[in-house]
Amino acid sequence: MTGSSVVLRATDVDVVREGNHLLRSISLTVRRGEHWALLGANGAGKSTLLGLLGAVSHPTRGVVEVLGRTLGRVDMRELRSHVGHVNPRHPLQSPLRVRDVVLTGLTNTNELVPRWEPTGEQLARADRLIGTLGMAARSAARWPTLSQGERGRVLIARALMPRPRLLLFDEPATGLDLAAREQLLSSIDALRGEHPELATVLVTHHLEELPASTTHALLLRAGRCLESGPVDEVLTTEHVSRCFGHPVRIARTEGRWAATAARAAAFV
């Protein structure tokens, strides 16, 4: 797939676990420079789909291609090393400094690898990314002293270290207060502007947690795709109300979305 703009492709994907359908007939194509949101209520199948797109799990039926390679025909661990994955529940136990946490993105490990030494260029890249994410003043701070919002920005820098073509966000604003959330979303918008070839997929169930730079969206309900495509065509009052099973009114102001309760009315 050299030269192709396609970064991710899922075709007629089902996921069945212990007889339960978690996903049914899901198809999705993500191209360079596109920024997708996966939205749905709890249990809709968002995390299951993200696991496929991140080469963490296999589909029961259908085909998933990640960075041009088909799941089931490739070393999954090696493939994952080319995908940036931002998980706010990063299982780090050691009190590493911010710069060292970012450098672990090169080794795809939680801890620093013994006897491994980064090059001068790699150190410089880590410092640039830390600056881009607004954490330069905290570069020497240790992980346990960071707020949840600061950790989120450090983890984005870490995920970008190996220069991935694809970045996955698993509910990155979880547990953040208003100020921390806005700082995080501004950082995501900034990095998307600085890396125009990067493709991203962000999972959330809150429209307020979508960066303004979001270009496409997929709505999941009970493992099925309700709508998929350009974000302004998908995130409408009708579609989102159907997705969450509740009447809401959707508004977009200065690039950001908000949902408010609508008067109870019949909707399909």
252-261 pLDDT per residue, tens: 998 999 999 8
How confident is the model at residue 51, as a pLDDT?
A: 92
How confident is the model at residue 1, as a pLDDT?
A: 37
95 touches 142 (CB < 8 A): yes
CATH value of 1-82+164-268 in 1.10.238.10, 3.40.50.11540, 3.40.50.300, 2.40.50.140: 3.40.50.300
Domain boundaries, the chain: 1-82+164-268, 92-162
**What's the predicted TM-score (pTM) here?**
0.88
pLDDT band at residue 264 using 50, 70 and 90 as cut-offs: low
Helix spans in the chain (H)? 46-53, 76-80, 98-107, 120-132, 148-160, 178-194, 231-234, 237-244
Question: Between the CA of residue 26 and those of 56, 165, 215, 224, what are the distances in Å?
Answer: 17, 22, 19, 7
As given in the structure block, the two tokens for residue 16 are 């069945």
Mean pLDDT score across all residues of the chain: 90
Q: What is the pLDDT of residues 166-189, one digit of tens each?
A: 999 998 888 888 998 998 899 899
Q: Are strands 248-253 and 256-261 parallel, antiparallel or unpaired?
A: antiparallel
How confident is the model at residue 110, as a pLDDT?
A: 84
Q: What is the pLDDT of residues 233-249, one digit of tens each?
A: 999 999 999 999 999 99
Count the Cβ atoms, other than its own, within 10 Å of residue 255: 11
User: In 3D, which of 202, 191, 261 has the Cα closest to residue 231?
Assistant: 202
SS3 category, 71: coil
Residue 145 has pLDDT above 90, yes or no: yes
Q: Is pLDDT larger for residue 34 or for residue 94? A: 34
Q: Are strands 35-39 and 216-221 parallel, antiparallel or unpaired?
A: parallel
Report the distance separating Cα 210 and Cα 171, nearest Å: 10
- Number of continuous H segments (helices) and E segments (strands) in the chain: 8, 12
Q: What is the pLDDT of residues 195-208, one digit of tens each?
A: 899 999 999 989 99
